[in-house]
Amino acid sequence: MVSDGARDTEMTAESQALPTMAPLITLTDAHMGDVNHVIINRMQSDVPLIPELASHLIAAGGKRLRPMLTIAGALFGPDGSVPDSALKLAASVEFIHSATLLHDDVIDDSDKRRGRDTANALWGNESSVLVGDFLFARAFELMVETDDIAVLGMLSSASARITEGEVKQMVMAGQPDAPLEDYISVITNKTAILFAAAAEAGARVGGASKPVCDALHKYGLALGRAFQIMDDALDYASDTKSIGKEVGDDFVDGKITMPVILAWQDSNAEERAFWQRTLGDGNIAEGDFQQAQALLQQHNAISRSLDAALAEAHAAANAVDILPDTELKSALISAAYFAANRKH
């Protein structure tokens, strides 16, 4: 056991070197301009509304995390180069992600994303549904151009699983007694599988070996889970107004996430009645969100969720253990711990 002094030093060192996305951003940066070029170029259509709406969402930014994973994957190939097919796949995963965002916002009837009006708020649900479909189809056109059927298999299967995750999430809504494994299955499908496919597909077209491809798949899976668990936990964190969406959205929507499931499992009858009335019946009054936060606090449900995110970050780091010790490997590990530590 370390002395208090040593521990203090350790904590200071740790806080000075909080994990960030910066190394991954830096190491993929030389290629992200090309990826953006493909994205902008391939969202074009003779029907002007399509690029107009798509660029509102896509050009507005977001972290471009999935394309970054594809580029990182490609860089693990034997010559560390990024072939055109990796750029296309990177754009492709961003299109799939964007399509799901457009459809999600319709489903959740959201009017804000990343602090801006959503596409459905500006152009209507019809346009968002159709442009989502367009981006999805365009993603497959791009994949076809890579001429790699295995990659098409990965990403078509990932796409099917995303929708399974979304449907299951919808079915679970309002059921605070859902088992934790159902939540894990939801976030694995709706989020983590695409992270995994993005990284693996990049590695594959970059010419990486099978073990490297597999390692990056596992990494993406754990990273995606860490991100989603954090996202869901932050929705109940009172001090983060900066995540773009409103804090408390999941509560209002009756969405069942890890903190709620953990709290429910430890709750007495009175508390369960509260969750049932609010999340279950959608009967939410002034002050209920604060009450929900207090209950989560009482059962350490947020901090236990953060622990779960951290465990996924560890799993992500372990997954890339077999990769050569490069800056890129460190960057991936840093990104994983960032996912489990981020404030927004």
Binding site for a copy of itself (CB under 8 A): 45-47, 49-50, 99-100, 103, 106-107, 125-127, 129-134, 136-138, 140-141, 143-144, 147, 149, 152-153, 156-157, 159-160, 162-164, 166-168, 170-171
Under a CB-based contact definition with an 8 Å cutoff, are residues 233 and 261 in contact? no
> What b/e readout covers 7-20, taking b as 16+ CB neighbours within 10 angstroms?
eeeeeeeeeeeebe
* Least distance from a copy of itself to the Cβ atom of residue 135, Å: 9
Q: Which is nearer to a copy of itself, 45 or 265 (CB)?
A: 45
In the complex with a copy of itself, the residue whose CB is nearer, 61 or 153, is 153
Nearer to a copy of itself, 108 or 230 (CB): 108
Contact 110, 118 (CB under 8 A): yes
| Per-residue burial over 198-210, b = 16 or more CB atoms within 10 Å of its CB, e = otherwise | bbbbbbbbbbbee
Closest approach of Cβ 162 to a copy of itself, in Å?
Answer: 7
Distance CA 75, CA 57 (A): 28
Q: Which is nearer to a copy of itself, 159 or 334 (CB)?
A: 159
Q: How far is the CB of 106 from a copy of itself (least distance, A)?
A: 6
Considering the complex, what minimum distance in angstroms separates the CB of residue 105 from a copy of itself? 11
> Which CB atom, from 173 or from 315, has the smaller least distance to a copy of itself?
173
Q: Any residues with CB less than 8 A from the CB of 19 and at least 6 apart, and which?
A: 333, 334, 335, 336, 337, 338, 341
C-beta of 159 vs 257, nearer to a copy of itself? 159
Nearest approach in angstroms of CB 179 to a copy of itself is 14
The CB-of-48 to a copy of itself minimum distance in angstroms stands at 8
Whole-angstrom Cα distance, residue 254 to residue 175? 8
Which string of b and e fits 93-129 if b means at least 16 CB within 10 Å? bbbbbbbbbbbbbbbbebeebeeeebbbbebebebbb
d(CA 271, CA 256): 16
Other CB atoms within 10 Å distance of the CB of residue 276:
16
CB of 318 to a copy of itself, least distance (A): 27
User: Whole-number minimum distance, CB 3 to a copy of itself, in Å?
Assistant: 52
Q: Per-residue DSSP letters for 195-233?
A: HHHHHHHHHHHTT--HHHHHHHHHHHHHHHHHHHHHHHH
Q: What's the min distance (Å) between Cβ of 259 and a copy of itself?
A: 23
Return the SS3 of 117: strand
DSSP assignment of 234-302 equals HTT-TT--TTSSPTTHHHHHT---HHHHHHHHT--HHHHHHHIIIIIT----TTHHHHHHHHHHHTTHH
Closer of 53 and 335 to a copy of itself (Cβ): 53
Residue number, 73 or 132, with CB nearest to a copy of itself:
132
Nearer to a copy of itself, 143 or 340 (CB): 143
Using DSSP's 3-state secondary structure scheme, residue 113 falls into strand
